[in-house]
Every structure is written in C-alpha cells, then in structure tokens.
Amino acid sequence: MRTTSELWQQWMAVDLALRTRLSTTLATLPSYLAHLPQGLEEFFSTVGWNTCVHPKHNLYSPQLIPLFFDQPLSGTLLDTACGMLADWQSAGSIRSDVHVSTLEVQHPFLFDRHIDWSRFDSDKPGQLSFLRRLGDEARSRSFQFKLIFPLHVNENHFSTAMLDFADTSIWYGDSLNRNISAHDLRGMRNFGNALGLTFQHSVKTLPHATQHDDYSCPDITINTIERFIWPETKPWTSEHARAERLEYVLLLATHNGLYSFPVAYVS
C-alpha cells in the first residue's frame, strides 16, 4: 500500500517525465495523435493527484501513473480498458454480436480441475456464476454471439482469446506468439460443453501485434480487442507505443474520448 507521500512523489515524477523523456514523444507524434499535448495539458490542469476519475470502475488517477512509463500495467487497468471498449461498443451499437469481457471470464479456468461444471445450470452455480450469465446471453441470441476477453498468463503476461459460439471456434492472440495454455483451453471447452456446444479442436489465430519488450503485452491485448471490433484501428507498434499509452491516459480518464473533465474531479 503506497503512502500519500509516495503517491504525491510519483505524480510529480509523471510531470517530470512529460518535460524530459516524453518530450521527444510529444514532439514527434503521428497525425492521429496530434491532440495529445493539448489533452494532457487539460488533464493535468483539471485532474488532481489522487482523485477518482471513473467511479464505475473505481479508477483513481494514481492508477494511471504506469501509463507514463515503460513498465507493466496491472490487470485492474486492463479490465478498466476492456470495460471502456465495451461501453463504446454499446453506445455505438457496433458489432452487437460481440461481447467484450474482462479477466473474470478466466477465473474458473484457473481452477478448472476443482470446478464442478455440473452446477453450471443449477440454482447455485457458485464460481461459475459469471460464465453462466454470459452463457445465458449467448443462448438468448441463439448462439449468434462472440465473446472476446483478456487472459492472464504465467503470472506476468496477458493475451487475448475469443470464443465464436456460432461456428464453435476458439481464437487466440499472444503478443509473444505462444500457444494457449492447456488449462485455459480446457476451461473454454468445458464452458462450451456446459452450453451443449463442442468447440473445434484447432485454435485459430486472432490477429495481433508482436511485442519486443517485457511490458507491452497489456497494451497489445487492448489493441487486439479494439481492432477486432473496429478493424480500422491502427495496429500497435513499438514506434508509437509511448504515445499510445498517453492516449489511453486521456481515454481512461474521460472514458469516451472527449477531453472534458468534470469540475468535481479537481482536488
């Protein structure tokens, strides 16, 4: 647990980073990110160093700090980004057959050998409750339904999976180009079986970028999901990785891409 003093020091370190190591990034932006300097200026003039920037996801400004540096991002931040993409999708009525979910999908897979899948359709599905809700939605749509979500792999890596209930295919995208883990694959197949479906044996490749560092996997996971819903989205590249993270500071803070911050957020 970080102290108030530590949070303040880290927030000040962000300001220093923007004036030093990130100054080159902001001076050489691609045209589609040319708005960043103005957006960041408004962000720091409005948002305090320890304020709730998004109540729905309990997101506070210090949680955005890793986006200003070349370091791993938390699963919480990744889930918040997935929630943001889901909100955009719902608001725009885009790809209504696709449901963007979070790391919560994976939880039963991690303990798959200890999960009683016979409880899936019972009155008390227990640890399968979240998947049951998703399964009920798939059923309500006669399985014309795709579920895309992040996976937490080997404790320090993130990837993306997609289940197509209509053609019973499993898709997987890993920025390190690794294969899907056995327990995740088994969990997905058990999920399908619980719904009366048999997923295909082979796993298809979900289009994704490749990372060349040890911290960009969550960035690429977000980009993979975004590109699946909005194919015109530019693929993640290491060249613009820092700038893309700064863009996500603004997107996560406003949650709708509009750089207007409620006065209530000022502290």
Could you report the per-residue pLDDT of 29-63, keeping only the tens digit for each? 999 999 999 988 888 888 877 888 877 777 888 88
pLDDT given for residue 255 in this prediction: 67
- List, run by run, the mean pLDDT of 10-residue segments along the chain (267 residues): 75 82 88 91 82 79 90 92 89 84 95 89 96 97 97 93 98 97 96 98 97 96 96 93 93 63 36
What's the sign of the alpha-carbon dihedral 170, 176, 177, 180?
negative
Domain ranges for the chain, please list them.
92-227
d(CA 63, CA 53): 10
Q: What is the CATH number of domain 92-227?
A: 3.40.395.10
The reported pTM is 0.89
Predicted local distance difference test score (pLDDT) of residue 100 = 96
